[in-house]
């Protein structure tokens, strides 16, 4: 749940500072954050699986897994763009490939930083 809120804040900042990034309302921004969370979780799991297979294989299989990984990296950004266009039908525009790449990098950094902060905060006792 925290990830969705972090994604909403980051996405809201991108909407504010980059004219190419458009979201028609806060509710749409929130739904976009949920979509990004789902897509990025699937893509991250796929990348981890490919990297693990890369490390455990050798020869032709390793080269094939490396090639698939090289296709998944830019493909994930195109997937985000296309899914957003399909689901929100013009109510959300995330800019182009490079802006989506920057958005995803910032989302992942913000998510990691937030998790580190919450990991360091002890739970309240009642």
The predicted pLDDT at position 96 comes to: 83
Q: Is residue 9 in a domain?
A: yes
Domain membership flag for residue 53: yes
Range of the domain at 35: 2-119
Q: For residue 93, give the H/E element and its range.
A: strand 92-94
Is residue 107 one of the residues assigned to a domain? yes
Q: Decide if 32 is inside a domain.
A: yes
Residues present in the chain in total = 126
125 within a domain of the structure (yes/no): no
Specify if 124 maps to a domain.
no
Could you give the number of structural domains in the chain?
Answer: 1
Read off the DSSP letter of residue 1: -
Evaluate whether residue 27 is within a structural domain.
yes
CA distances from 76 to 2, 40, 62 (A): 22, 8, 21
**pLDDT (tens digit, 9 = 90+) per residue, 65-84?**
777 777 777 778 888 888 88
8 Å CB contact between 78 and 43: no
pLDDT digits (tens, 9 = 90+) for 21-80: 888 899 999 999 999 999 888 888 888 887 777 777 677 777 777 777 777 777 788 888
């Amino acid at each position: 749940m925290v990830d969705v809120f972090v994604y909403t804040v980051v996405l809201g900042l991108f909407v504010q500072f980059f004219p190419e990034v458009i979201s028609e309302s806060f509710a749409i921004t929130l739904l976009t954050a949920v979509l990004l969370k789902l897509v990025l979780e699937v893509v991250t799991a796929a990348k981890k699986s490919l990297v693990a297979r890369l490390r455990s294989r050798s020869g032709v299989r390793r080269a094939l897994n490396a090639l698939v990984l090289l296709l998944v990296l830019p493909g994930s950004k195109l997937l985000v763009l296309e899914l957003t266009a399909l689901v929100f039908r013009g109510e959300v525009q995330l800019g182009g490939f490079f802006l989506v790449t920057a958005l995803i990098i910032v989302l992942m950094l913000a998510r990691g930083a937030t998790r580190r902060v919450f990991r360091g905060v002890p739970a309240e006792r009642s």
